[in-house]
Amino acid sequence: MNENNPYILVLGASIVDIIGFSKREFKAKDSIPGSIKISLGGVCRNIAENLARVGINTEFISILGDDANGRNILEHSKRIGYKMDNSLILKDECTPTYMAILNEHGEMESAIVDMDSLDKMESSFIDSKAEIFENAEYTIVDSDNPELLEYVLKKFQGKTKFILDPVSANKATKISHLMKYFHTIKPNRLETEALCGFKINGYEDLQKAGRYFLEQGVENVFISLDADGIYYLTKGEEGTICQNDKIDIKNVTGAGDSFVAGLGLGYMNGLSIIETLKYAIAMSIITITHEDTINPAISNEYVENYMNKMSWK
């Protein structure tokens, strides 16, 4: 571990989202007046940015092409304060990009996904970054690349504490045999079912799932129940926690990403489980009240002030 300058490592994708919004009735094979928005995304990139915005020393290892989009992401990371110096830069390749066209009702008509480069990080590259992994207090991962994830988990077991955001139920199914390597997992209901192999129909099923994960070796289990809050189980604590205020929701897309970042802050600052959860939930609420996937107002001071005004149940 790096005692003098502790940090969290995030490993995962950076994606450029290009969305076209139709201002008139959508017609195929025609040019339509509208607006185009370009934004940076990817679950792990979002987590890294949120961590940096609340003041956590953050290393982010990702995959970029040596194109304009890749350079834009690198410049953005420098402005916000998360480090991407150890990322894989692919020569003559495109940075992962998602491009969609929405009709006048905001519904997707078509999309093109260019994610080929995401499969080009190999175990030899991971080996070359061993020191970065071994010195990280925590390493946050998703399930995008199950084969590479398994390699990382086995190689650095016991040298850093792994936090998992499964991303999707389909992807979670492919890593269900790896639970023993994780310190913390943060699945939703569907992802929980995929990881533990049975349906979640009520509180008793949540308890059963939590016990299953602890028996596998997980230390902290946080299951997202959407509007019903979080079910949590650790070696010493169990329960549910939920905020009790009316929320003006603008965009729910980045809620899970900011929640995971909140867990990271709680861990790095030695907060109790309850205070960590309150902070993480506050971050997710702040996120969904803004149109962007990441609320640009987020800072540690902002989150603490917001959290202290919230009511809980």
What pTM was estimated for this model as a whole?
0.93
Please list, in sequence order, all residues whose beta carbon lies within 8 angstroms of the beta carbon of residue 114, skipping any fewer than 6 positions away. 94, 96, 97, 98, 99
CA distances from 3 to 12, 111, 118, 134, 261 (A): 24, 46, 32, 12, 21
- Model pLDDT, residue 197: 95
Residue 3 pLDDT class (50, 70, 90 cuts):
low
- Model pLDDT, residue 4: 77
CA distances from 188 to 3, 87, 196, 225, 226 (A): 33, 29, 12, 6, 8
CA distances from 255 to 71, 100, 224, 250, 292 (A): 26, 21, 10, 11, 11
- Model pLDDT, residue 66: 94
Residue 116 pLDDT class (50, 70, 90 cuts):
confident
Give per-residue pLDDT as tens, 226-250.
889 999 999 999 999 999 888 888 8
Give per-residue pLDDT as tens, 135-187.
999 999 999 999 999 999 999 999 999 999 998 999 999 999 999 999 999 99
- What tokens were used for 238? 């169990």
- Which three-class secondary structure state does DSSP give residue 211? helix
Give the residue-averaged pLDDT of 21-31.
Answer: 91
- Model pLDDT, residue 264: 98
Residue 96 pLDDT > 70, yes or no? Answer: yes
Give per-residue pLDDT as tens, 74-89.
999 999 999 999 999 9
Residue 268 pLDDT class (50, 70, 90 cuts):
very high
- Model pLDDT, residue 2: 61
- Model pLDDT, residue 198: 95
Nearest CA-CA partner of 89 in 66, 68, 115: 66
Residue 253 pLDDT > 90, yes or no? Answer: no
Any idea what DSSP says for residue 98? E
- Model pLDDT, residue 126: 97
Residue 1 pLDDT > 70, yes or no? Answer: no
- Model pLDDT, residue 292: 85
Phi, psi (rounded to 5 degrees) for 179: -60, -30
Any idea what DSSP says for residue 86? T
Residue 213 pLDDT > 70, yes or no? Answer: yes
Reduce the secondary structure of 227-239 to three states and give it as a string: HHCEEEECCCCEE
Please list, in sequence order, all residues whose beta carbon lies within 8 angstroms of the beta carbon of residue 215, skipping any fewer than 6 positions away. none
Residue 289 pLDDT > 80, yes or no? Answer: yes
Please list, in sequence order, all residues whose beta carbon lies within 8 angstroms of the beta carbon of residue 171, skipping any fewer than 6 positions away. 142, 143, 144, 146
- Model pLDDT, residue 108: 86
